[in-house]
Structure formats: structure tokens, C-alpha cells
Amino acid sequence: MTGGRKKIFELSGVCFAYKEKEVLKNISLDIAEGESLGILGESGSGKTTLLSLLLRLVKARRGNISFSGQPLAEMTGKTLRNFRTRVQPVFQDPFLSLDPAQKVEGIIGEPLTSLKLTKTGAEKKERILRVLEKVGIGADAMGRRPEEFSGGQRQRIVIARALVTNPEVLIADEAVSALDIITKIEILTLLHELKEKGNFTLIFVSHDLPAVADISERIVVLDQGEIIEDAPVRRVLHSPAHPRTRLLVESGLTLGGN
């Protein structure tokens, strides 16, 4: 369900098993360019595994996943490096996902180095400063370490690291679950603003229905490794098709666990 827009990810009959336990079952899903897609599910539903497949951190046991028409499983060398440039993750815990030994300049600049995206130190520094400004962090942060920042500031640095490659797709994994309510609202607002200005595809993975509903135009609900709902956010909130989703909406609670 892409609303006529060009597909950027296409999944067909995707299955994944861990130690012979089937974690994802026959997942078929299209994700459009420029879309804000929420993937909602409780602990054990398979959402983190799905995210790992989209990032090509693991490979599907069965089925096919393609990005811009190219099969993910066949990507190697320059093609895979190009994919890593175009698709970037924002991981869950800003206290764990930043190297405490590195300064902010090194943390944000690491993708530019590993993906060979800049030719000079001056170009690299300019890109780091530009992306820090985008996320509302001052240039003085360059020489500081993560321990000197609050949780919200750290998550802004995590987002800056993802955005520094100018990705076409940002995949956020429980990006606000480790934050207090005020900071959560600030980061969701930031993602809204960045999405409006950057025109990238946002895939927001969470167990938190209010957060998913706030950031997404369409929601996919996973339950026990299967897609039980795939609809625009308004339809999910006001007339959910599946009983499990209906109970969640009626309770107004999250789906429990990370």
C-alpha cells in the first residue's frame, strides 16, 4: 500500500527463523519513497528482526527483499556500500549507541570515513557542522564526549550521525523509548521537522502506539511474526480491523516491552 508513489522497499513472502523458531512468517510489504511508516508490535512480535532484514544485517530464510529494484541478498562491494549510504539506522538507546571514548566529531564523522563519502578533512568537518545545526546542537559539541550531554541531546547526536550521509531512508528503532515524556515529544517534533525538510522515507519501529501514531501516515502491526494490520493511521486508530489492534487502541496503552 504505497498510494501510487514509487516503491523503495519491496518484501515478498519473507520468512526468518532463529534457532529453528520462525520469527517472521510470509511477510509481504511495500514501502514508498517519502513515506512515514510506523511498524508497531510488542516484544517478540518480530519487528526488530524485520528492521534487521531491511538494514541487511541478517538475510531472509525465504522470500525476497529489494531496495530500489535491486535484491538486497545480491548486494556486494560498491553496491552494498551505496545501500549503506542511502539507508541509515537510528538505534534505541542513546546511552549505549554512542562510543564514550570518542568525541562527537569522530562519532558523526565515522560513516563519512567508512563509506568514503568525503575527500578532505575540511569537507568532512563542514558536513558534520551542517548536520549538527540541523538537529539543534551547537558547533561546540564537536570536541565533547557523549557523557557531557543529556539523553535528548545524545539522541540528537545519534540522529545527526544517521543523517550525515544524506540518506534516502531513515530507520528508527525504538528511538524514543529510552527518553522521558518531555524529551520524547522534543525528539518526535525534531523527526517531523527533519522529515518535512529532508524528504526522506522514515520507518519508525516501536511498541508505543501514541508515538507511532504521531509520526506515521501508515501503520503496520506485527503480531507473532505476522502482519495483522496495514492501513493509514486514521483507519488504525478509528476502525482497526484486527481484534488485537482494536484492544490496543481502546486501552490507549503501549504493547508492552521493548
Question: Can you give the residue ranges of every domain in the chain?
Answer: 7-94+172-251
* Contact status, residue 109 vs residue 62, Cβ threshold 8 Å: no
pLDDT at 252: 62
Continuous segment of H or E residues that includes residue 244: helix 243-251
CA 55 to chain centre: 9
pLDDT at 5: 83
Residue 103 C-alpha cell reads as: 568525541
Percent of the chain with pLDDT over 90: 76
Task: Determine the average pLDDT of the residues in 169-174.
Answer: 94
Task: Determine the average pLDDT of the residues in 198-215.
Answer: 91
Over 80: is that where the pLDDT of 8 sits?
yes
DSSP letters, 172-193, are: EESTTTTS-HHHHHHHHHHHHH
Helix axes 151-163, 181-198, angle to 10 degrees: 20
Task: Determine the average pLDDT of the residues in 170-174.
Answer: 93
pLDDT at 255: 46
Query: What are the pLDDT digits (tens) for 216-258?
Result: 999 999 999 999 999 999 999 999 999 988 887 877 654 444 4
Where residue 3 falls among pLDDT bands split at 50, 70, 90?
low
* Contact status, residue 25 vs residue 13, Cβ threshold 8 Å: no
pLDDT at 244: 87
Cα-Cα end-to-end distance for the chain? 27
Higher pLDDT, 97 or 167: 167
For the purposes of burial, counting CB atoms within 10 Å of the CB of 199, is it exposed (0-12), middle (13-18) or buried (19 or more)?
exposed
Q: What is the mean pLDDT of the chain?
A: 91
pLDDT at 258: 43
Where residue 2 falls among pLDDT bands split at 50, 70, 90?
low
Which amino acid is it at 52? Answer: S
Which of 68-72, 122-126, 223-227, 243-247 comes out lowest in average pLDDT?
243-247
**Domain spanning 7-94+172-251, CATH architecture:** 3-Layer(aba) Sandwich (3.40)
pLDDT at 250: 79
Helix axes 151-163, 121-134, angle to 10 degrees: 130
Percent of the chain with pLDDT over 70: 96
pLDDT at 249: 81
